[in-house]
Amino acid sequence: MQDNIKFAFENTVQIRIIKNIPKTPDHVFSKIFTRKMEYLLKKGKPISNKKIHIKKAVVCAAAAIAAALLMASTVGAVRDFFKNFFMELFKTHTTVQSADYSEAPLSIENIYTIKVPDGFEKIYEDELYDWSPYIGFEYCNDDKYLSFTQYVKSKYDVNVNTENHTLKYIQICGSDGYIIDLGNDEYYISWDNGEYIFDLTGNVGKNQLIIIAESVQKAE
């Protein structure tokens, strides 16, 4: 008897529940969703993941472009002031100009000379003209050499070798300058005495070259 009542109740409730479910129209998927589903079934891979990969690729490409632009601007040149000099640093060399020549002579009015060590002979001297931007002297003693140049400050525009070489600050007779160790006892020194800029190159060692640079004086 109990079982029959239970069965009757269950049936009645089941029927009532089903009757109470509201009638809704069959769901129609959107065209985009259907297309995605078809693609998914074809490829057997989730569409959403594929989309993320492409997006990632585009983002990576954009980041690479930004990085390349940044690198290109960095590799190009670094401009900076170094004491009395204006410098542009490149990978292989540095372009150096005078940072202030407003009160300096516009031509070589006074010639400066250096005191070269015994045994050195002058083998070249530039001719001096009104327009001369600089005047150079070459000295030689067997395999040793000295190159001395006096520049009009406004015309000082030199590319110096800084490929694997470091440019360091130096004072010559109290004037600001820089020195480059070129290796094999060769050095390049340049300094600004306020009136002119000088440079001196030689393979006589650092100390000897500094002594020679400090011997600079106006020619009589």
Partner 1 sequence: MRKYLSAFFLALIMITMMCSITAYAVDAKYSYTTSATSTLTITSGTAYCKSTAKGNSTVTEIDAVQYLEKKSGSNWVAVSGGTWSGSANTRVLNMSNSKSNLSGGTYRLRTVFTVYNGSNSETVEKISSEVMA
Under rule CB under 8 A, residue 61 binds partner 1: yes
Under rule CB under 8 A, residue 83 binds partner 1: no
The least distance separating partner 1 from the CB of residue 172, rounded to whole angstroms, comes to 17
For residue 1, the number of C-alpha atoms closer than 13 Å in the C-beta half-sphere is 0
> Coil, helix or strand for 184?
coil
Q: Which long-range contacts (CB under 8 A, 24 or more apart) does 123-132 make?
A: 131/107, 132/107, 132/108
Contact 107, 130 (CB under 8 A): yes
Span from 24-32, 85-93, 109-117, 208-216 in contact with partner 1 (CB under 8 A) = 85-93
The least distance separating partner 1 from the CB of residue 80, rounded to whole angstroms, comes to 18
Residue 116 — φ and ψ, nearest 5°?
-90, 150
d(CA 220, CA 210): 22
Residue 207 — φ and ψ, nearest 5°?
-60, -45
Residue 155 — φ and ψ, nearest 5°?
-105, 0
Query: Which residues, at least 6 apart from 92, have a Cβ–Cβ distance to it below 8 Å?
Result: 161, 162, 163
**Of 15, 65, 128, 173, which lies in the binding site for partner 1, with binding defined by CB under 8 A?**
65
The least distance separating partner 1 from the CB of residue 9, rounded to whole angstroms, comes to 59
Under rule CB under 8 A, residue 24 binds partner 1: no
d(CA 205, CA 121): 18
> Nearest to residue 210, comparing CAs of 175, 182, 170, 183?
170
Under rule CB under 8 A, residue 132 binds partner 1: yes
> Coil, helix or strand for 216?
coil
Under rule CB under 8 A, residue 18 binds partner 1: no
**Of 178, 188, 191, 196, which lies in the binding site for partner 1, with binding defined by CB under 8 A?**
188
**Of 46, 157, 173, 194, which lies in the binding site for partner 1, with binding defined by CB under 8 A?**
157
Span from 23-31, 78-86, 120-128, 167-175 in contact with partner 1 (CB under 8 A) = 120-128
* Residue type (1 letter), 185: D
**Of 5, 28, 41, 54, which lies in the binding site for partner 1, with binding defined by CB under 8 A?**
54
The least distance separating partner 1 from the CB of residue 15, rounded to whole angstroms, comes to 52
Under rule CB under 8 A, residue 1 binds partner 1: no
Under rule CB under 8 A, residue 88 binds partner 1: no
Interface residues with partner 1 (CB under 8 A)? 54-55, 57-58, 61-62, 64-65, 68-69, 71-72, 75-76, 90-93, 124, 126-127, 129-134, 136, 138, 143, 145, 147, 149, 155, 157-163, 182-184, 186, 188, 199, 201, 203
